[in-house]
C-alpha cells in the first residue's frame, strides 16, 4: 500500500510522552491509513516499545525498526529515512507532537505551490498548556508565503529544527544527520540552500516539549565540543547567511564558558576548540548580524578578538578581568521568619544588571516576616547604591554613609529597613569595579581575601578548580 507521507519517530526512554506523540499522528485529519509511521527503536530502556506495540497492532501503517546499539537521534533519523517509501517525509521527536491538521493541510499547500520544502510553526510546550514565546530559532509565520529565493529570507537559517518541516524526496539525498548533539543544523542549512521553492505555513504547529531532562538542557563539555564542530561545518558553506547562524553559535559557546564554573584547563580547551573552528570574523559581519537579530545580546568585542589572543589571555581579558557583565545574574531577597536567613526562605530574580535596576519581589506568600536581606548580585566585585528602600546594614568594605557601598566579596548583601508589604521594589544602582578599583581594595584590605583562613567561596567567576 502506498502512503501520502512518512513520519519518522526515533524512540529512546520516552514512555511518559510517547502516547501524546503517537495520538497526534493517528488522529491526523489526513487519515492514519495514508501515513507511514516509521518507529526507530534506539535501544530504549523503558516501556516505550510496549506502548508503541499497542499502536502497531491496531494500525498496519506502523513500521518498527530496531537499532542494534544506541545510536542517538541523528543516526536514528537516518535509519528511518532509509525505510521511507512515500514521496514526502516529516520527522517528529518522540516527546513532541503536532496539530491535528498538520499533514493534510501541508501536503495540500505543497502540491498547490509546487514546493519541495514546507516549514510550519514551532511552539515550545512546557507540559502545562503553556506555550512559550517564539525565539530566534523558533520563528512563527503570520501569513502563508511561498519563498522562491532564500537569499531574501536570511532569518530562515535560524530555523534549525529538522522537525517542523516536510521534505520532498528530491531533498532526501541531502538529509544525512551527524552523530551527537546539534545534529540538524547543518542538514537544515543544506536543505534550505538547495530547495527550489519553500512554503511557509502559518496554519500548522509543531509542539516542541521543553523537557528539563533533555540532554541538550544540561550543558556539558560535549555540548561545547559538538557545537564547535557545527560552527566549523557551517563556515564551510561559504555563505553569508549561514555565517550569521555560525556567529550566533559562537556567541552561545562564549555564553556557556562565561556562565558556568569550569576548571581552567577545561576553559583553555574550549577556547582552543572554538578558535580552531572559526574563520576570520570582521566587524561588518557582526554589525550585519545585529541588523538581522537586533534583540540578541552579542559579545561583539569578544568574538572579534578570538583570533587575536592566546587562550589564557583571552580568558583573563574577557571572562575574568573584563568586569562588563556578560550573563544574566541573580538577585535574591532573603526572608527571616524568625530563625534567621536561610536558602529555603528566599526569592530570586534573574536579571541583566544595568547602571540602574528596579526589581519587584512578591512577599504575599510569607507571613510573620522578621527581617529582609537583599543580595544584589553574586560572583563579581561591585559597588552599589540602594535608592529605595532604606538600609540598616551591609557587608561592604566602606561606610554606609558613602554614596556607593564597595564590595570586594562575592556575596554582597544589605539588611533592609522598610515597611513590609505584599510587594517590595528595590531600586538600586550597580557598577562593576574595574581592575584598578579592585587592586586598590585589595591593597587597602591587606589582601585579606587571599590571607583568610576560611575556604574561599566558589562564585560564578573564579579560578577555583
Q: Assess whether 89 and 139 both reside in one domain.
A: yes
Determine the Cα–Cα distance for residues 315 and 288; give it in Å rounded to an integer. 26
Q: What is the mean pLDDT of residues 99-127?
A: 93
Measured from the Cβ of residue 436, the count of other Cβ atoms closer than 10 Å reads: 8
Q: What is the mean pLDDT of residues 92-118?
A: 97
Please tell me which residue, 403 or 353, carries the higher pLDDT value.
403
Q: What is the mean pLDDT of residues 336-354?
A: 89
| Under 8 Å between Cβ of 394 and 402 | no
Q: What is the mean pLDDT of residues 322-342?
A: 79
- The residue among 378, 374, 362 whose CA lies nearest residue 329 is 378
Helix (H) or strand (E) holding 19: helix 18-26
- Residue 328 pLDDT class (50, 70, 90 cuts): low
pLDDT score of 461: 38
Give burial (CB, 10 Å; 0-12/13-18/19+) of 404.
middle
Q: Among residues of the chain, what percentage have pLDDT more than 90?
A: 69
CATH of the domain at 123: 3.90.550.10
Q: Assess whether 385 and 414 both reside in one domain.
A: yes
Q: What is the mean pLDDT of residues 133-146?
A: 74
Segments forming the whole domain that contains residue 226: 219-320
Place of cell 523558533: 138
pLDDT score of 140: 74
Place of cell 516527546: 95
- Residue 387 pLDDT class (50, 70, 90 cuts): very high
Q: Assess whether 60 and 180 both reside in one domain.
A: yes
pLDDT score of 215: 42
Residue 157 lies in a domain: yes
Q: What is the mean pLDDT of residues 381-401?
A: 92
Residue ending a domain, among 166, 187, 214, is 214
Q: Assess whether 162 and 55 both reside in one domain.
A: yes
| Under 8 Å between Cβ of 353 and 329 | yes
Residue 463 lies in a domain: no
Q: Assess whether 196 and 261 both reside in one domain.
A: no
Out of 32-36, 269-273, 308-312, 377-381, pick the least confident.
Answer: 377-381
What are residue 29's phi and psi, to 5 degrees?
-65, -15
Residue 460 lies in a domain: no
Inform me whether the pLDDT recorded for 380 exceeds 80: no
- For the CA atoms of 423, 424, 427, 430, the dihedral, rounded to the nearest 10 degrees, stands at -110
Determine the Cα–Cα distance for residues 100 and 102; give it in Å rounded to an integer. 6
Give burial (CB, 10 Å; 0-12/13-18/19+) of 238.
exposed
pLDDT score of 219: 82
pLDDT score of 408: 79
Q: Among residues of the chain, what percentage have pLDDT more than 70?
A: 88
Determine the Cα–Cα distance for residues 116 and 148; give it in Å rounded to an integer. 11
pLDDT score of 411: 82
Q: Assess whether 130 and 207 both reside in one domain.
A: yes
Q: Are strands 382-388 and 423-432 parallel, antiparallel or unpaired?
A: antiparallel
Q: What is the mean pLDDT of residues 428-446?
A: 74
Residue ending a domain, among 320, 344, 371, is 320
> Mind listing the pLDDT tens digit for each residue in 35-83?
999 999 999 999 999 999 999 999 999 999 999 999 999 999 999 999 9
| Under 8 Å between Cβ of 345 and 397 | no
pLDDT score of 325: 55
Residue 356 lies in a domain: yes
pLDDT score of 414: 96
pLDDT score of 14: 95
Alpha helices (runs of H) in 174-220, residue ranges in sequence order: 185-194
Residue 459 lies in a domain: no
Cα separations (Å) of 171 from 88, 148, 306?
9, 16, 36
Q: Are strands 35-41 and 5-11 parallel, antiparallel or unpaired?
A: parallel
**Distant-in-sequence, close-in-space partners of 448: CB < 8 Å, separation ≥ 6:** none
Give the 3-state secondary structure of residue 283.
helix
Measured from the Cβ of residue 174, the count of other Cβ atoms closer than 10 Å reads: 16
Residue ending a domain, among 171, 193, 214, is 214
Cα separations (Å) of 260 from 29, 178, 253, 321, 461?
46, 27, 11, 16, 8
pLDDT score of 462: 39
Q: What is the mean pLDDT of residues 159-164?
A: 93
Q: Assess whether 11 and 144 both reside in one domain.
A: yes
Inform me whether the pLDDT recorded for 464 exceeds 80: no
> Mind listing the pLDDT tens digit for each residue in 214-266?
444 568 999 999 999 999 999 999 999 999 999 999 999 998 998 887 889 99
Out of 17-26, 121-130, 372-381, pick the least confident.
Answer: 121-130
pLDDT score of 369: 94
Q: What is the mean pLDDT of residues 428-432?
A: 91
Averaged pLDDT score across all residues of the chain: 88
Residue 422 lies in a domain: yes
HSE at residue 210, side-chain half, CA atoms within 13 A, is 14
Helix (H) or strand (E) holding 49: helix 48-58
Q: Assess whether 67 and 181 both reside in one domain.
A: yes
**Distant-in-sequence, close-in-space partners of 293: CB < 8 Å, separation ≥ 6:** 136, 155, 158, 244, 248
pLDDT score of 450: 45
pLDDT score of 436: 74
Please tell me which residue, 175 or 451, carries the higher pLDDT value.
175
Domain count, the chain: 3
Q: Assess whether 160 and 29 both reside in one domain.
A: yes
Q: Assess whether 199 and 93 both reside in one domain.
A: yes
Residue 273 lies in a domain: yes
Q: Assess whether 17 and 153 both reside in one domain.
A: yes
Q: What is the mean pLDDT of residues 137-152?
A: 85
- Residue 135 pLDDT class (50, 70, 90 cuts): low
Q: Assess whether 260 and 293 both reside in one domain.
A: yes
Residue 269 lies in a domain: yes
pLDDT score of 456: 44
Amino acid at each position: 500500500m502506498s502512503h501520502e507521507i512518512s513520519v519518522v519517530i526515533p524512540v529512546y526512554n520516552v514512555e511518559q510522552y510517547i502516547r501524546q506523540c503517537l495520538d497526534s499522528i493517528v488522529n491526523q485529519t489526513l487519515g492514519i491509513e495514508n501515513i507511514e509511521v516509521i518507529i526507530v527503536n534506539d535501544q530504549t530502556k523503558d516501556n516505550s516499545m510496549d506502548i508503541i506495540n499497542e499502536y502497531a497492532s491496531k494500525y498496519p501503517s506502523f513500521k518498527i525498526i530496531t537499532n542494534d546499539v544506541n545510536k542517538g537521534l541523528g543516526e536514528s533519523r537516518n535509519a528511518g529515512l532509509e525505510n521511507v517509501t512515500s514521496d514526502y517525509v516529516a520527522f517528529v521527536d518522540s516527546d513532541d507532537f503536532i496539530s491535528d491538521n498538520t499533514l493534510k493541510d501541508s501536503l495540500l499547500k505543497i502540491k498547490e505551490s509546487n514546493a519541495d520544502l514546507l516549514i510550519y510553526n514551532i511552539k515550545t510546550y512546557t507540559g502545562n498548556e503553556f506555550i512559550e514565546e517564539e525565539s530566534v530559532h523558533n520563528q512563527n509565520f503570520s501569513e502563508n508565503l511561498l519563498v522562491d529565493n532564500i537569499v531574501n529570507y536570511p532569518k530562515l537559517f535560524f530555523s534549525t529544527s529538522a522537525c517542523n518541516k516536510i521534505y520532498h524526496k528530491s531533498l532526501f539525498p541531502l538529509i544525512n544527520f551527524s552523530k551527537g548533539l546539534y545534529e540538524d543544523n547543518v542538514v537544515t542549512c543544506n536543505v534550505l540552500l538547495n530547495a527550489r521553492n519553500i512554503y511557509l505555513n502559518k496554519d500548522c504547529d509543531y509542539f516542541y516539549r521543553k523537557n528539563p531532562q533533555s540532554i541538550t538542557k544540561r550543558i556539558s563539555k560535549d555540548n561545547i565540543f559538538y557545537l564547535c564542530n557545527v560552527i566549523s561545518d557551517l563556515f564551510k558553506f561559504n555563505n553569508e547567511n549561514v555565517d550569521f547562524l555560525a556567529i550566533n553559535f559562537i556567541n552561545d559557546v562564549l555564553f556557556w564558558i562565561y556562565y558556568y564554573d569550569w576548571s581552567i584547563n577545561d576553559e583553555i580547551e574550549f577556547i582552543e576548540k572554538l578558535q580552531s573552528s572559526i574563520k576570520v570574523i570582521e566587524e561588518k559581519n557582526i554589525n550585519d548580524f545585529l541588523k538581522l537579530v537586533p534583540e540578541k545580546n552579542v559579545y561583539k568585542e569578544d568574538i572579534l578578538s578570538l583570533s587575536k589572543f592566546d587562550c589564557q589571555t583571552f580568558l583573563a581579558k574577557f571572562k575574568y578581568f573584563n568586569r562588563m557583565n556578560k550573563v544574566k545574574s541573580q538577585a535574591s531577597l532573603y526572608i527571616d521568619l524568625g530563625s534567621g536567613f536561610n536558602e529555603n526562605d528566599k526569592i530570586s530574580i534573574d536579571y541583566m544588571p544595568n547602571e540602574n535596576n528596579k526589581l519587584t519581589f512578591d512577599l504575599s506568600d510569607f507571613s510573620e516576616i522578621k527581617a529582609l536581606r537583599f543580595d544584589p548580585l553574586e560572583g563579581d566585585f561591585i559597588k552599589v547604591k540602594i535608592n529605595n528602600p532604606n538600609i540598616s546594614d551591609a557587608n561592604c568594605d566602606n561606610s554606609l554613609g558613602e554614596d556607593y557601598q564597595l564590595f570586594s566579596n562575592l556575596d554582597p548583601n544589605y539588611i533592609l529597613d522598610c515597611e513590609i508589604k505584599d510587594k517590595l521594589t528595590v531600586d538600586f544602582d550597580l557598577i562593576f569595579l574595574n581592575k584598578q578599583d579592585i587592586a586598590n581594595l585589595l591593597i587597602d584590605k591587606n589582601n585579606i581575601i587571599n590571607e583568610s583562613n576560611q575556604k574561599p567561596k566558589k562564585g560564578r567567576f573564579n579560578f577555583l578548580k
